[in-house]
Structure 1
Amino acid sequence: MLSKLIEEGKKVEKYNVKYSIGDSFEGQEYEIWKAKALILIDRNYRSTEVGRNFILTSKSNNMKSYNEMMGILIALESEEISHKDLEAELDALDAERKTVK
Structure 2
Amino acid sequence: MAFDPLATIAALDPGMRNRMKEQNEFVYADGALPRRIKLLMAMAFDAAHGAENGVRSLAAQARAAGATDGEIAEALRVAYHLTGVGCLYTASAGLTERE
TM-score by length of 2: 0.28
Bigger radius of gyration among the two: 1
Q: Which has the higher strand share?
A: 1
Q: Which has the higher helix share?
A: 1
TM-score by length of 1: 0.28
